[in-house]
Amino acid sequence: MGTCAAGVVGVTQPLALTMGDPAGIGPEITVGAWRALRATGPAFAFLGDASCLPRDVPVEIVDDVASAAACFARAIPVLQSPLFTPVLPGSPDEANAPAVIDSISRAVGLARAGSVGAVVTNPISKAVLRKAGFPHPGHTEFLGELCGVPGQEVMMLASPMLRVVPVTVHVSLREALDTLTGEAIEAAARVTVAALRRDFGLSNPRLAVAGLNPHAGESGLMGREEIELIAPAIARLKAEGVDVFGPVPPDTMFTLAARARYDAALCMYHDQALIPLKTLDMENGVNVTLGLPIVRTSPDHGTAFDIAGKGVAQPGSLIAALRLAGTLAHNRASSLQERPE
């Protein structure tokens, strides 16, 4: 493990890739992503312990992220975040939770300082972190706190086939029903539209809003949330100039013809959004956190402890997350340059 020297033409600012749970498939898909991207980029620095990466892969320890792009074509650049106990694939250990958390915190700090173009996160185990005292429901909420905008973070799942945003996220379905409000719908819509313009480069994004109940409530026969919460929120958004329509019956809004009418679907709860995206395009699905002062993406799957270390994990979603992070970071930088003084 030496010092990086060789360069990658055209790559100037690498991405920060967090370690995730080292007992999951994160190390394996990191290697798969590096092999797929080492000739083309975007380059990334792995913020974790080099010991959790497979031994047959070239790894080089770097002192700073500026060195990562220089060696990316021939080795995985690693900014060490030491583990507290040896890793056994498939057997997570809460003793390593502080290293997992530190990897995320360091990545966000680098992004906020402008040292990396974006943060890409490998999967974590919420249950393992919770045992170690981690108070957040997941990555998304922790990132909001680290970035100084708690409660403003919005989760999007994106693929070439579909973009979805759930208004309520990591809560039970019963809690989602209890906490859904018109104000929450409007806030998520505004953040989504702003991100589609700034980061995705869409000048006039179109937003479809799902109903909550079967048949979008059937004029109140199957529930009144559409009448009392969702439709009034849509009306207020339209008055602000947002190109938005709905409430749309959730069982028909994800067909091929329906998807052609909008750029993102605003859904009322987690599974209403994520089931169609993962069914349509799991391989290319990417989790994007909107509403942050930094760009953050991640694969749309979890730690997969059951297959960790077996050499069968597919890196497609992480590759898509890294590529999308590079694109979003470029678009955001361009939009900031174009912004009038």
Q: What is the pLDDT of residues 21-75, one digit of tens each?
A: 999 999 999 999 999 999 999 999 999 999 999 888 999 999 888 888 889 999 9
Q: 10-36, pLDDT tens digit by residue?
A: 335 899 999 999 999 999 999 999 999
Average pLDDT of span 208-235: 94
Q: Which residue has the higher pLDDT, 158 or 217?
A: 158
Mean pLDDT of the chain: 91
| Three-class SS of the chain | CCCCCCCCCCCCCCEEEECCCCCCCHHHHHHHHHHHHCCCCCCEEEEECHHHCCCCCCEEECCCHHHHHHHCCCCEEEEECCCCCCCECCECCHHHHHHHHHHHHHHHHHHHCCCCCCEECCCCCHHHHHHCCCCCCCHHHHHHHHCCCCCCCEEEEEECCEEEEECCCCCCHHHHHHHCCHHHHHHHHHHHHHHHHHCCCCCCCEEEEECCCHHHHCCCCCCCHHHHHHHHHHHHHHHCCCEEEEEECCCCCCCHHHHCCCCEEEECCHHHHHHHHHHHHCCCCEEEEECCCCCEEEECCCCCCCCCCCCCCCCHHHHHHHHHHHHHHHHHHHHHHHCCC
Average pLDDT of span 110-127: 95
Q: 247-275, pLDDT tens digit by residue?
A: 999 999 999 999 999 999 999 999 999 99
Sign of the four-CA dihedral 154, 211, 242, 187: negative
Inform me whether the pLDDT recorded for 212 exceeds 50: yes
pLDDT band of 337, cuts 50, 70, 90: low
pLDDT band of 6, cuts 50, 70, 90: very low
